[in-house]
Structure 1
């Protein structure tokens, strides 16, 4: 059995990787600005005088939520997961902001676990262990035992990750019990959405990630400054998904800020204008919208119900050579030139192994590579390449030089769009998400929280 074809680590870093989401858009949920009516009800003066002092920079690290303690260790171990996801490139000031956000998340998580237990729908130990094992193998490519060692090495623990899993599963159980049964979607609504989708065939559709930060007239400047800091961290290589999960106040925070596939008309005009000028992989923002600020990340772009060439399945052979440790630039250049000449003489995929063997090159094959999963530069090159031809050589002294040879291509079929049941499920999910946000806000309002 042939090993899988691989692409260099540097090349993959330039590719956009994200789990698949529903085709329908998740609506933007912005917290409303404090309205004049609400201000009148609260009787807040326009120029309040503060009696006593309260230093906003002095924060307490632990809390007791309805009698249940969140310790400083809980906070630090969860913070370690975020720092690791961002490659450790977080300065002290940003880490402190993250620490307070982690505490807020742990408080929400505790409230969710408590509410699920009170409703007699807690996440079972079996559910948690099965999900932990799946996360270890699918997301990290490790056994649960190796995953435990990895977490300890970065300053976290399996207990911390399992608690996060327990909170998410408990919340899902609770929503299925107390929210989902009361969400109704009519057949007419589904048919109308499907008709709109067909009418928009061929128009551009965008898959966007969003971090939404709520703001009022009082704290607008501070929130904007925080948003700018987040953008700077993201530009330095921070994980958009990790920051969205920790900072975003939209209902999509739980899925890393992913709004799914949407059309610009579904966005507020300010965001639509920004998104329309973006290329996949670009950031935009902070953009001021009603209720706060949004940071956008364009994950991908396509045309509605139109076959996308990037969905083509490619059959590839990777031909590569490695350079021994200590190879000089001159030696590498000479070896690379010999490699390029040999590759140029290969007569199709059937001749690859024989020619590669003459110069000690390695050939690896994979016939199930989707073009869109490759880095952008390679996508364009391979989609315009005749069968049997190769890309220009690429690589480095550290990782060697390689080419990709196109051995076959299965073009995608025209997308038929979501089925009736799929569209209904998407609309239901959107409404459940909106009600879930209200549910959690009510839990926060009624909670007894003591800070230590």
Structure 2
């Protein structure tokens, strides 16, 4: 392609505006006159004073076809070029100037996605009639926009440890499998009273009414859900201990389970509803948790510690709660698979998000339990690796910057002066 042709292809509205002022014409008049010419290098769309030629639209269509973009390519090419003009226009307004080597590096990076060098990628483009300036303009618009978004919104993006914790809760799997809506009753079974607790649990397991089960929970349950009739919120089946999953899946709505023995207690569950968005969960989880021994159930000490612990947002905060006590009642076991945890602990953690707590009655005492972490169990034999916090942080940063970018571009588009002859 000759230098003259390239210069003509890159025509923008700036010289046309000078002509318009000299002749006393409006921007619309200039666009209309440009449209009457047969030149493929005449602007056919004007965006905030920058022109888009018919040749550029054709080139972008060919480029999109090579990238296997579906849909109406002409419409998509126009939209893409309009947005690129806005990106370049906004970057220029912000005084952004690319380093002389930045565009070359950007072209190399883009070509590398196809495992090609920049030269090889340009050669492949040429086979389909796409010239190098089209590729260069595309990359340049993306680079100046990336720098503009970084400067404008970068200081607003702050990813906290809590954000990373939540992102590592396997949110992509939550709701994708089976969810259950259940109610619980936990009956204390201290030493010497196990038989009586089991007998009472047997009676409760025969209930077939949610209302009757809720009333029994309010009267007899030692769980923190008693005031709510034992009702738990929707939870993924994966969150529950593996041994309990088949028990719950075998229940019909309104049916209670047989008594389940826990550590110093007996549990009964009633299925209220089941939501099967996919196959039943089988993914193993590794849970980290902390416990705070509150003291004898109903004692003033237990009430005071529970009140202080209510302000804790993370497991590390529990050590502040007990600061000054002669012996720390906080226990922080190493993270372990669900199946390796005590049954009552595993059940308590099933309905918690990171930083949330619940109170268990274990024998004559009470313990506060807080969930510290919930991650997918790693199977070394399958080549699986543990989640990387740095990678999660980078992903969250990119997602938030992407959200700012999309919103900003939408605002620019809404306020742009776009003229079509």
User: TM (normalized to structure 2)?
Assistant: 0.39
Which has the larger Rg?
2
User: TM (normalized to structure 1)?
Assistant: 0.36
By relative contact order (CA 8 Å, sep 6+), the higher-ranking structure is 1
